[in-house]
Chains A and B, each alone.
Chain A
Amino acid sequence: MSAEAQIDSNIHRPVRRLWIKRKLVTGLYETDWQRVDTVDGEDQVIEWGTVTHEIDADPSTEQSTFDISGVTIKIRNDKGLWNNEKSSTSLFFPDDVYLTRKFTRIKIEAGYIDTDGEEQGVCTVFEGLIESVSVSEDRAAIINTMSYLYVLKNYPISDRAYTATTADVSAIISDLFGLSKVSNFIYLATNTPALDGEIADKTTLEGDYWQVIQRLAFLSNSVPVLVGEIIGSEANGQSFKFVSRAPIGASKRTFYGSGTSAPDIYSIDSYDDEGAKRVVLRWNDDTSSLFAQSSNDSLKEKYLNKTSEVDVSDLSNADRQPLLNALLSYWEYPRESLTFSCKTMLNNINVMDLINISIPGVYPDDCDRWGFGVWGEVVGSAARAGLIIDVETQFLVTSVSLDVDNWKTTIKCERV
């Protein structure tokens, strides 16, 4: 049976594995991943934690930002496996072979066991670095991890020693991900900015690599996304996509809610049926007189010409107005958004994926149907719940939160 069939089933038998790759005193990582969720037949993990990938991670901005959470894992330490490298019981002993626990590569795999006992859809749902390990008297250790975004946050752009020349956004992205110190962790899978504008002077870029990438994402009306997936090469960690804020490919799945025969939605956690909060009807470049303004009178009437001040001066002159226009064309329209928990528990649904949702709604119960005309007549939709979404309705996934402990996924999405 396929992984999709396992997800559809109402009995899930999860596979969960935890792996580490220790850092050697040479500064390199050991060749093979070491499995640590079970050691010599003894289960080790007490709590697996939750991992979240999300765009719009910074609610204070109208533009797309991205973040991926670290994971906090609680693990047995009754045999001192997670003590520091000076302890002879430690996985990191001896200290003349392994550096330390910090920056150890760590990944969580998840998948399903089918009715034949075969594994299906096992994939990496999180890969990152150990930030710290705290051991306690209760014979457990807490492993705090951080995503590979740390790698990008660790290097200042000044170390590229750029000269005062122009460069397209995609060229700078390629340059950064071409560095082995980055590509050893993150693989650049897609580099197709929505507007591949020209940076007028590379020396104006400031901050660390991640800050620059996020700035470039804004200047190209794009989204930077790090996806937790196996990309075919053990050495390459996770894959990175620098893409427009538009769904990638065809709809990945239709999620069924109340009123359907076999719902895979557990609950609707929030529903904004208008999506007015992030509407922007005028974009001003605060370094020039350039602007883009909605010509839709109805929208202006509704949302009172809401304006956003931005700085697009890093772009060459010719690329500034197209960016403002592109920002307007996306953000001038309200988009309903929805957060729901469901039973998919794989990274087959990622941020920027397209999904369908079907919530026909339910009648409150049979008793309430008495009184809607004559018994036996077709009862009108008025009897159904307020939240009704037609199956044809498509949404862009903006956040995926995998609760590996409870085997449940929470998805946030906005209407396309």
Chain B
Amino acid sequence: MPAPTFSFFTKNRINSGSTFVLTSAPAISTSALFDRKRSPKLASVGSNDATNEVWQITFTGDVVKTISAILMDNHNIKSGNVKYWNGSTYVNFSTPITLSGNAAETSFFSFTQVSTSRLQFTFSTTMVVNAQKYVGEITAFDLIGTPSRAPSSFVITQKERSVIHETANGGNVYVFFGKKSKIKLTFSDASYSDIDLFLSLKELGDVFFIYPSGGLYEGVDIGLRLKDIYQVNYVNDFSPNLKANVLEVNQSLAMELQET
């Protein structure tokens, strides 16, 4: 089994500026695909296994963007495919994305980087026969980089926003508004190229994704599952340190990321 890679990706090319052509799914619900919540989902209406549900997604302004991976999360698609627009027609990626007999609700696909402005998702059948075809999140993004070595420490905490109201009898009502992940990574043996990667994240000027599993490692621990991907800001100081013995190669760096 491959090891977790702690890969970094650009933000989603599919966003509120994108336009959608959908066979039956309601256009008003398309934000479900990029709201960073596994639920709600975008679902077909009146579809069945004999009817393809095709979703054509055009990036904001039909502007060409680079992508090298697609993640479909919380979906029930058993068979289907994904293609990209090469300027005149929808074609397969270098590694064609095809689902066949799929039973996993999270699917990650990586391929040779392409430049495109449109994607086409064709969903044919569902895991439960003739169900409505749904997807909770679709993320189409480009790999920024993968550290050459995994972090020596990886800590995830859930920062929550909540209020506790005291009732007339001294009991309480707990109001839980939501939680966001806070991720602390320590790279104790980062190569110079890793440091360059981290610096580029700091200077990106935009949010990005960290995908601890990398899409290949299927862990069971929170943070390392296939569905655990976080859109984050890099919030602490960028301060790489020479290791204790200055004659040793590589550096150490502590990185703190907070989910947006």
Contacts and interface: CB of A to CB of B under 8 A. Distances in A.
Interface string A371-397: 000000000000000000000000000
Interface in A226-265: 256-260, 262-265
B175 interface: yes
B177 A266 contact: no
A41 B168 contact: no
Interface in B148-179: 163, 165-169, 171-177
Contact of A343 (B31, B34, B35, B165): B165
Contacts of B31: 35
Interface in A135-158: none
Interface stretch (B11-19, B46-54, B98-106): B11-19
B28 interface: yes
B260 A265 contact: no
B114 interface: no
Contact of A41 (B35, B169, B173): B35
Given A35-B31, A406-B163, A343 B173 contact: yes
A43 B35 CA distance: 9
A42 B231 contact: yes
B16 A12 contact: no
B208 to A, nearest CB: 12
B2 to A, nearest CB: 27
Contacts of A343: 165, 167, 173
Contact of B28 (A14, A32, A257, A407): A32
A11 B174 contact: yes
Nearest to A42: B260
B169 A263 contact: yes
Contacts of A407: 163, 165, 175, 177
Interface string B199-221: 00000000100000000000000
Interface in A265-293: 265-268
Contacts of B207: 42
A257 B171 CA distance: 11
Contacts of B28: 32
Contacts of B177: 13-14, 16, 407
Contacts of B180: 43
Contacts of B167: 10, 263-266, 343
B243 interface: no
Interface residues of B, number: 27
B83 interface: no
Given A32-B28, A38-B35, A43-B260, A257 B12 contact: no
Contacts of B35: 38, 41
B169 A14 contact: no
Nearest to A341: B165
A263 B176 contact: no
Interface in B1-28: 11-12, 15-16, 28
Nearest to B163: A406
Nearest to A256: B168
B169 A258 contact: yes
B36 interface: yes
Given A10-B171, A260-B169, A362-B169, A40 B163 contact: no
A41 B12 contact: yes
A361 B16 CA distance: 53
A13 B231 CA distance: 22
Interface of B: 11-12, 15-16, 28, 31, 34-36, 39, 163, 165-169, 171-177, 180, 207, 231, 260
Interface of A: 10-14, 16, 32, 35, 38-43, 117, 256-260, 262-268, 343, 359, 362, 406-408
11 contacts: A10-B171, A40-B16, A41-B36, A41-B231, A258-B168, A259-B169, A260-B169, A343-B173, A362-B169, A407-B163, A407-B175
Given A13-B176, A41-B34, A264-B173, 15 more contacts: A11-B176, A12-B174, A13-B175, A14-B176, A16-B177, A38-B35, A40-B34, A41-B260, A266-B167, A266-B168, A343-B167, A343-B173, A362-B169, A406-B165, A407-B175
- Nearest 8 A-B pairs (CB), nearest first? A41-B36, A258-B168, A263-B168, A42-B260, A40-B15, A407-B175, A12-B175, A263-B167
